[in-house]
Structure 1
Amino acid sequence: MSEDFSGGKRGPVLKPDPAKKRITIRLDGDIIEHFKQQVLKAGGGNYQTLINDALRKHIEYPARPLEETLRLVIREELGNTRYLKEKE
């Protein structure tokens, strides 16, 4: 039995979000692969959305000064060390 698609329309099933712009961009292969792997680990999704989210976070939360970042990392590591000692 064959399907009749004579009344079908070409194009996407869902209309694209008008707030989004279609562009062509060249990214390094390892960057694309990183985001595709994140989608696989999550069990699905869209790597382009992850890239968009990463860019948005970078814009909204500018990098901290190095000293502040180091202090944060040291506090986290000291906290992990205390936690591990308490478990022993």
Structure 2
Amino acid sequence: MAPTRFPARVDRDAMNPPLSTGKGTTHVTHALAFDEPGGHPAAVTGAGVKTSQVRAAQRFRAPVESRGGWFEGLPDDAFAPATNVRTALTVIPH
């Protein structure tokens, strides 16, 4: 959905996107277009976005960090038994 087709903006949102680096970061980046300036979106992301040298992760970290955002590691079993993927809470002031 294009942000121009959605009339209202939000100042808070919580996301649980796909945990693979490329899909998750694409989802979160797209969702930022729906946020009001000054909002505080947060997403559960794969923990690899904090340190991965994969281009998708590097491109994702830059705007998070430039907006004063952060990544906070979640417990290794945060989503067990559904998945053993390591996750992080990603907060992105907008």
Q: Same fold (TM over 0.5)?
A: no
User: More strand by proportion, 1 or 2?
Assistant: 2
TM-score by length of 1: 0.22
Larger Rg: 1
TM-score by length of 2: 0.21
